Chains A and B, each alone.
Chain A
């Protein structure tokens, strides 16, 4: 447990900054909800004027956009994008920490197996992400209740916000594997932004081209809010793929971490 506690202590300031940033982001856009509801018809014209392809590209689906959850989903997709960067950066950081502070010699010569250290680190990150998700989603729910004109289904809300959890866990696990494979990595946030934006661009391209193939390469499609709003469910095969990859990344990360050479600095 000592490594887990130490890791959480090390990350608490960063975690606080992310939570504040994400909740502020959510909170700032919610007050537009009533104004938005008042102007649905003019909005429809406006969006039609923007052209169908553009609105589709950024994830606005006409079928679902004009309910409180539709607008919320649109805001929430940007929260997921930012929270995805947080999760990926955290995954990278939690493994690269020892490279950055050159503390590998300290930590890995203690009487703890590498597996135990890895699992405690991973758990510390998961706890941080769960805290992030709980707070962000709670703030979203409260502000949605406060500002939404129409009522909405709590069940659909919960299903929708579960995409944040899946998305964060997926990118977190990917970050861990990348950091385990790249032991010299020190700069984590830049890499996290790069990879997450790459996935997002792929998602946009997939929407624009309607090319099915791209869908398989971006987690934004595996856990997609629009699909949930229309079907009140996940696409089972994408969900299974996303979860399976998350597990594979974590296991592969462990295998690499256990056997990798830790060089002197």
Chain B
């Protein structure tokens, strides 16, 4: 059995009276790429900041590698690479100075890996950080987060500011780290990137965990995306029946309709067969659509 890397039990954080997260529990196994999705304000960052001991919980427990996140943070941090959503660094420093400073916190020699990563990301380390574009600052963040070859990589909305090619390189890097054995914990509100990368996904809404599933289950087993074109004028009644069977996100145009469906496919098809169909497609929904369903 794989080792548990992150274990969260009934974790709750209030900012004064304001709810951050409430009673969140889940665990992540070694070697997983775990996605954490939800809109802004759902509690993704709160959870991550708790794991990193940047903030302290109102109640509940969290551990990484079996160590308590709040009392053994420095020892955990040796094995964790973190890339925050927004990257800012000290004034007037060159990229290489910052990377050397970051590396000085670890017992190992990170310089070969830093060179490797900088080359891969096409990052010029001799430049001043102040002069860098947002995307390039982000690269500095990636390099300093991965330089010590961490066993757990925590990323909070990591791809903002990276162009699509760079995003691809970055995802390749994460996959390689994962193949090396690193566990990846990844928060995002951009569902396609979670979809591309993750094995399992947790969906967060208003500070609560509302679903936790394997990516494959979430996409393939549960939901179908259906689009149809019909000449039957009184199709609305049939579509209403389908909604009652478990359709969601129903969008009806003049003579076409689309929806996602979870339920008995045969029963739905029986209803559809009464319509004069011109066209019918059944496909895997992308996560975006599944997600909208949860947020209706």
Answer whether A and B are interacting partners. Answer: yes
A contact set with B: CB distance below 8 Å: 2, 6, 10, 97, 101-106, 108-113, 116, 259, 261-265
Taking A111-B78, A261-B54, A262-B55 as contacts, is the C-beta distance between A2 and B89 under 8 angstroms? no
Asked if B88 contacts A103 (CB within 8 A), the reply is yes
CA distance A109 to B87 in the complex (A): 13
Assess whether B73 is interfacial by the CB under 8 Å rule.
Answer: yes
Residue in B closest to A105 when the chains form the complex, CB atoms? B84
Classify the interface of chain A: helix, strand, loop or mixed.
loop
Shortest C-beta distance, B286 to chain A (Å), equals 28
Asked if B90 contacts A101 (CB within 8 A), the reply is yes
Assess whether B101 is interfacial by the CB under 8 Å rule.
Answer: yes
Taking A112-B105, A262-B49, A264-B84 as contacts, is the C-beta distance between A106 and B55 under 8 angstroms? no
Shortest C-beta distance, A116 to chain B (Å), equals 8
User: In the assembled complex, which residues on chain B have CB atoms less than 8 Å from the CB atom of A262?
Assistant: 49, 54-55
Residue in A closest to B48 when the chains form the complex, CB atoms? A264
Which one of A6, A103, A109, A261 has the highest number of Cβ atoms from chain B below 10 Å of its Cβ?
Answer: A109
User: In the assembled complex, which residues on chain A have CB atoms less than 8 Å from the CB atom of B88?
Assistant: 101-103, 106, 265
Assess whether B188 is interfacial by the CB under 8 Å rule.
Answer: no
User: In the assembled complex, which residues on chain A have CB atoms less than 8 Å from the CB atom of B105?
Assistant: 2, 110-112
Assess whether B52 is interfacial by the CB under 8 Å rule.
Answer: yes
User: In the assembled complex, which residues on chain B have CB atoms less than 8 Å from the CB atom of A263?
Assistant: 49, 55
CA distance A6 to B102 in the complex (A): 11
Shortest C-beta distance, B193 to chain A (Å), equals 20
User: In the assembled complex, which residues on chain A have CB atoms less than 8 Å from the CB atom of B84?
Assistant: 105-106, 264
**4 nearest CB pairs, A to B:** A102-B88, A111-B77, A261-B55, A110-B105
Q: List 26 A-B contacts (CB under 8 A).
A: A2-B101, A2-B104, A10-B91, A101-B89, A101-B91, A102-B88, A103-B88, A103-B89, A104-B54, A105-B52, A106-B84, A106-B89, A106-B102, A109-B82, A111-B74, A111-B75, A111-B105, A112-B77, A112-B105, A259-B56, A261-B15, A261-B55, A263-B55, A264-B85, A264-B86, A265-B88
Taking A103-B88, A263-B55, A264-B45 as contacts, is the C-beta distance between A109 and B77 under 8 angstroms? yes
User: In the assembled complex, which residues on chain A have CB atoms less than 8 Å from the CB atom of B104?
Assistant: 2
Residue in A closest to B54 when the chains form the complex, CB atoms? A262
CA distance A101 to B137 in the complex (A): 13
User: In the assembled complex, which residues on chain A have CB atoms less than 8 Å from the CB atom of B87?
Assistant: 106
User: In the assembled complex, which residues on chain A have CB atoms less than 8 Å from the CB atom of B55?
Assistant: 261-263
Asked if B86 contacts A113 (CB within 8 A), the reply is no
CA distance A149 to B142 in the complex (A): 65
